[in-house]
């Protein structure tokens, strides 16, 4: 069956329908990872977005549920050049086609994903529609596309109740704003007892358990939509508990302490983004997924200073908080399937907790 991807600038791509046949409107973004499509699909940070994979062949090693970063896929839609319908992998348990159908996610295959990516890079991220309705009317669709926004998507992706991963080491409170499972796993593998809290948990509830450290997770959407969460993070900042924050958590901590964030032209999404540690000068290849960035022009150096920058575009990739046991990064040190270059940051967090005990 034919499917159509319609962008808010009036561009139309024609391809083949994959997954669900339902019609969706979403923010269209692209991911440059060459592997790890299942981890991309199950990353809660993609809630409210439809993902275009730039690598041309997707699905060739099938679906292995053990590799999922959450219990279900989150993108509104999925866009690929070529979908492998016959995966070859001894671990494969299903196909992407069935996986998308199971969770009612529509997609489109057979379009020129390179042309789409170039368009998004030139014009910036746009909203779009995936539909199988060949009788679509552009004059009716485009106003709907321009009016769309992702809204408060953290509410959709956070856990419903507190859970605990037992461990014999430091006790870490993990705030789930849309956390990838590998964050808790990376801490737990290092011996930490990890308590995962829903996003809207009050700071007082967390602090009364006397955690050795607090982790602020990744998540979807515009950080400025999370007004009540930002208020609670300010209380966590005012405590003396060591804090490590990733991606959305990094942005929320910046907002809680008086800095500002801004939307990027097309964001960073993929497993091949170089970041530079400003203290050591060393460059790491990182996994990233974000469309917003901390505006370093709004930083108060008495509160926080840049710790990492993106080698490609010089945008901020991390902050160190002055006089506090707090550091935050925009990229994903828990990267799964990789790269694993920055996994050492979890070890830095553990040492920080040991020092403050």
- Alpha carbons 242 and 203: distance in angstroms, whole number: 14
| Three-class SS state of 302 | coil
248 is known to lie in a ligand binding site: yes
Return the sign of the alpha-carbon dihedral for residues 176, 181, 183, 187.
positive
Token pair listed for 302: 């008495």
Question: What kind and span of H or E run contains 195?
Answer: strand 193-198
- Alpha carbons 261 and 254: distance in angstroms, whole number: 8
Question: Among 112, 122, 85, which Cα is nearest to 101's?
Answer: 85
Single out the catalytic residue among 8, 273, 334, 336: 334
- Alpha carbons 252 and 36: distance in angstroms, whole number: 27
Question: What kind and span of H or E run contains 114?
Answer: helix 113-123
Can the peptide bond before residue 193 be classed as cis, meaning omega within 30 degrees of 0?
Answer: no
Q: Is 332 a catalytic residue?
A: yes
219 is known to lie in a ligand binding site: yes
Single out the catalytic residue among 250, 317, 332, 336: 332
Single out the catalytic residue among 226, 247, 273, 336: 247
Phi first, then psi, for residue 234 (nearest 5°) are -60, -35
DSSP structure string for 143-155: HHHHH----STHH
Residue matched to tokens 């007004």? 227
330 is known to lie in a ligand binding site: no
- Alpha carbons 342 and 349: distance in angstroms, whole number: 12
Question: How many other C-beta atoms can be found within 10 angstroms of the C-beta atom of residue 182?
Answer: 20
292 is known to lie in a ligand binding site: yes
Looking from the CA of 100 toward its CB, the CA atoms found within 13 Å total 29
45 is known to lie in a ligand binding site: yes
Q: Is 273 a catalytic residue?
A: no
**DSSP H helix total and E strand total for the chain:** 10, 19
Binding residues: 45, 219, 221, 248, 251, 289, 291-292
Binding residues for L-glutamine: 45, 219, 221, 248, 251, 289, 291-292
Residues involved in catalysis: 247, 332, 334
């Amino acid at each position: 069956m034919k499917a159509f991807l319609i962008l808010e600038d009036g561009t139309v791509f024609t391809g083949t329908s994959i997954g669900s046949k339902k019609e969706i409107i979403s923010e269209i973004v692209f991911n440059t990872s060459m592997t790890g499509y299942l981890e991309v699909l199950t990353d809660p940070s993609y809630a409210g977005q439809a993902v275009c994979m730039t690598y041309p062949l997707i699905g060739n090693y099938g679906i292995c549920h053990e590799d999922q970063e959450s219990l279900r896929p989150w993108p509104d839609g999925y866009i690929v050049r070529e979908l492998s319908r016959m995966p070859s992998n001894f671990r494969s348990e299903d196909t992407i086609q069935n996986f998308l159908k199971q969770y009612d996610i529509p997609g489109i295959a057979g379009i020129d994903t390179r042309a789409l990516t170039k368009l998004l890079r030139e014009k910036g991220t746009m909203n779009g529609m995936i539909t199988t309705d060949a009788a679509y009317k552009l004059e009716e669709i485009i106003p709907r596309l321009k009016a769309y926004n992702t809204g408060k998507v953290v509410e959709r992706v956070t856990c419903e109740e507190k859970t605990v991963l037992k461990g014999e080491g430091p006790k870490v409170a993990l705030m789930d704003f849309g956390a990838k499972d590998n964050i808790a796993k990376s801490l737990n593998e290092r011996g930490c007892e990890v308590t995962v809290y829903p996003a809207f948990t009050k700071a007082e509830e967390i602090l009364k358990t006397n955690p050795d450290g607090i982790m602020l997770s990744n998540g979807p959407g515009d950080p400025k939509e999370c007004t009540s969460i930002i208020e609670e993070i300010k209380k966590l900042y005012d405590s003396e508990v060591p804090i490590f924050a990733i991606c959305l958590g990094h942005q929320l901590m910046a907002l809680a302490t008086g800095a500002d964030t801004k939307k990027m032209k097309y964001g960073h999404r993929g497993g091949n983004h170089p970041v530079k540690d400003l203290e050591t000068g060393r460059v790491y290849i990182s996994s990233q997924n974000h469309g917003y960035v901390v505006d370093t022009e709004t930083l108060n150096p008495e509160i926080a200073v840049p710790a990492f920058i993106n080698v490609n575009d010089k945008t901020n990739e991390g902050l160190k908080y002055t006089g506090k046991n707090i550091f935050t990064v925009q990229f994903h040190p828990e990267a799964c399937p990789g790269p694993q270059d920055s996994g050492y940051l979890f070890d830095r967090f553990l040492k920080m907790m040991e020092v403050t005990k």
